[in-house]
Chain A
């Protein structure tokens, strides 16, 4: 008879196995941000492109160029519907790339914009999208300096896809890296979670649930700068987009080989988001945000970090949601509001496709 300890060891080894793509074709799960995406990225892309800047698999690559430190990132947007309460594919595409740079610790500078348009797409819609990109760029203090347009035949794309890349400069002498995370560190989120994912899902109108919710899409560069000015001991920042806070925490716990314990009751979440998730049977910890980040800071500076975040309107509901401890390494646990404990694993399949 096998003991439970042996089983835990088995699971630990299974989790650490080199990822493989077993499927013969791409399925929707490969784009969902969970384990299938992870295996695709690691087994196909990283394997082929392998280099030190890529292998960190952060939100962007940090590169030394002639003494300057640059952050470089790219992202594509296929959200459906294109327009949703609180935003559209345009500001999402700008904010998403700005945020990827910001959480590298960089000041975002320049963006590119690529458009894949379907034959028949209304020009008025495109103008609306582009106008909101321009407004988002102004708000974030970046310039869109280069771009590309392709048109494909009717039925070969779904209206409009946008792809952006961005460059920023790291002006502070700090290195944000999940491997720097230590037991005793505090885990923060910059605001209420899950609003973007739930808003977009309800905006599709398939669920016949109505809620007065708007997407949280926003540029995070000012908020990140405020945090980094106030607290030098920030270990790592991550943008909690696809896969939500839970996925980000799992990535951090695995890189740092520490455990992260989340206090569920401390996680800020609007009642309407909580209610919609409850009805749909979705855990809000896995729902995407487009204007929230997760920060791990030295535990001694948690209060200072919180104060710094809360002085900004985007961070007024920031909260300490958990802490880092040594055991069990690589796992995220949640202390439930009910008073029990559970494992918060990386998602296998995503119930919410095409939300960004």
Chain B
């Protein structure tokens, strides 16, 4: 497949892997966090860890948008969906996320009209086609998806659509990275920066990471060679005693971001004073809500939203996993009570979640898999 195979070339991977091994200082161990769930998924899907030396460990970060949604917000959305005239629309991977009382899929089976869409524009289309229903879009995601939500609201406003609203759960990546860096029990040597978020926000907002914390960050694409090259660039910075923000994903990420996308977000949404993250707790100025000017499209103002707060299950250690303190399999319930069929924590739900990715793809140590595939 053109424009894909080039980034999955095993010969180039071997060359990069040799370079990576050569850059590792003997006796030193390196821990890099890939912030974005898309990277986690790519790492497992392609078996990328088979190319990394023992000394390099990848830690899965908080960048899976589904994984950071607290259970209370799922319950709130279901409460909205219970209004008989409401069609709740959502991306497919939200459907199985457990709230305090079941998932969207369960609510749907119990009678709520919940439909999967691929884009907020599909939800708007649904609203136009069903003028007697109220269509609510469950908006989730980082700066990657926030622009499309914002553009959809702008379009709905321009067209005067009155039966469309957004249940806004958009979050922002920088406060989450800050929360991780401020965590006292953390040992990370650098970050693989989120590629798609960076196409919107650019590379500048990461400047505080080398400046205040002395750690390098490399924005990376989502093909396996992108990730390997990012690891190589991080190791080279460390070897040369540098800590900088670098851009591996130059074919997509502009250094200064995408002004039009940022402007759209800024017109429609504003920062919330605080937002609860699954596992990470309340983080101030870490999420977006609709501005007053777009109150007519804000599901939180249109509907009675109970504002449910559900404490994360005690046994669940999603927070530690998201912070990279624990590996997925070090969580007490991993693979016992918490499996992809019966997820307790959200990390186990989405294919991008660190736990699900590990459970599905990565549960064999590198040595063991190597041995198995050679046998």
Q: Which residues of A contact B (CB under 8 A)?
A: 1-2, 4, 7-8, 10-11, 14, 22-29, 35-36, 39, 206-207, 259, 261, 271, 274-275, 278, 283, 325-328, 333-343, 345, 348-349, 351
Q: Tell me whether A328 and B1 are in contact in the complex, defined as CB-CB below 8 angstroms, given that A27-B109, A333-B369 are known contacts.
A: no
Q: Are B1 and A278 in contact (CB under 8 A)?
A: yes
Name B6-35 residues within 8 Å CB distance of A: 8-10, 13-14
Q: Which one, A11, A36, A328, A335, contacts B335 given CB within 8 A?
A: A11
Nearest to A259 among chain B residues (CB) is B372
Give complex CA distance A244, B359 in Å.
Answer: 20
Report which of B48, B50, B334 forms a contact with A7, defined as CB distance below 8 A.
Answer: B334
Question: Can you pick out 22 interface pairs between chain A and chain B where the beta carbons lie within 8 Å of each other?
Answer: A4-B329, A11-B339, A25-B106, A27-B109, A28-B109, A35-B340, A35-B341, A207-B118, A278-B4, A333-B372, A334-B47, A337-B10, A338-B10, A338-B48, A339-B10, A339-B47, A339-B50, A340-B46, A341-B369, A341-B373, A342-B44, A343-B363
- B185 sits at the interface (CB 8 A): no
Is the pair B375, A342 in contact by a Cβ cutoff of 8 Å?
no
A342-B46, A343-B361 are known contacts. Are A337 and B369 too (CB-CB below 8 A)?
A: no
Q: How far is the CA of A22 from the CA of B103 in the complex (A)?
A: 13
Known A-B contacts A274-B1, A339-B14, A340-B47; A7 and B335 likewise in contact (beta carbons under 8 Å): yes
What residues of B have a CB within 8 angstroms of the CB of A278 in the complex? 1, 4
Given the known inter-chain contacts A4-B365, A27-B108, please indicate yes or no for A340 contacting B50, CB distance below 8 A.
yes
Instruction: Say yes or no: A341 contacts B50, CB within 8 Å.
Output: yes
Tell me the complex Cα distance, A338–B7, Å: 9
Contact, CB under 8 Å: B105 / A14: no
Q: How far is the CA of A23 from the CA of B104 in the complex (A)?
A: 12
Q: How far is the CB of A156 from chain B (nearest CB, A)?
A: 16
Flag whether B189 is at the interface (Cβ < 8 A). Answer: no
CA distance A39 to B108 in the complex (A): 20
Q: Cα distance A335–B363 when bound, in Å?
A: 15
Q: Is the CB of A325 within 8 A of B372?
A: yes
Chain B residues in 8 Å Cβ range of A349: 95-96
- Measured between alpha carbons, how far is A333 from B375 in the docked complex, in Å? 12
Do the beta carbons of B369 and A338 come within 8 Å of each other? no
Q: A328-B372, A345-B360 are in contact. Are A25 and B45 (CB under 8 A)?
A: no
Q: What chain B residues lie within 8 Å of A39 (beta carbons)?
A: 341
Q: Are A348 and B340 in contact (CB under 8 A)?
A: yes
In the complex, what residue of chain B is closest to A348 when comparing beta carbons?
Answer: B340
Contact of B255 with A by CB under 8 A: no
Closest CB pairs A-B (n = 5): A340-B47, A339-B10, A25-B109, A340-B50, A7-B329
Given known pairs A35-B341, A349-B95, the reply for A26 and B109 (CB within 8 Å) is: yes
Q: Are A27 and B363 touching (Cβ within 8 A)? A: no
For A261, what are the chain B residues with a Cβ–Cβ distance below 8 Å?
372-373
Report if B362 contacts A (CB, 8 A).
yes
Extra inter-chain contacts (14) besides given A11-B339, A333-B372, CB under 8 Å: A2-B330, A10-B336, A14-B339, A23-B106, A36-B341, A325-B375, A326-B375, A333-B364, A333-B373, A337-B8, A339-B13, A340-B47, A343-B363, A349-B96
CA–CA, A349 and B334, complex, Å:
19
The yes or no answer to B370 lying at the interface (CB within 8 A) is yes
Docked Cα-Cα span, A4 to B329, in Å, equals: 7
Tell me how far the C-beta of A194 lies from the nearest C-beta in chain B, rounded to whole angstroms: 14
Beta-carbon contact of A338 and B13 below 8 Å: yes
Does B158 sit at the interface, judged by CB under 8 A? no
CB of B360 within 8 A of CB of A340, answer: no
Q: B9: which A residues are within 8 A, CB to CB? A: 338
How many Å lie between the Cα of A126 and that of B108 in the bound state?
31
A306 to B372, CA, bound (A): 26
Task: Report how far A337 CA is from B341 CA in the complex, Å.
Answer: 28
Q: Please state if B362 and A343 are interface contacts (CB–CB under 8 Å).
A: yes
- Once A36-B341, A261-B372 are accepted as A-B contacts, the answer to whether A8 and B1 lie under 8 Å apart by CB is no
- CA of A4 to CA of B363, assembled, Å: 8
CA distance A136 to B360 in the complex (A): 39
The answer to whether B1 and A271 have CB atoms under 8 Å apart is: yes
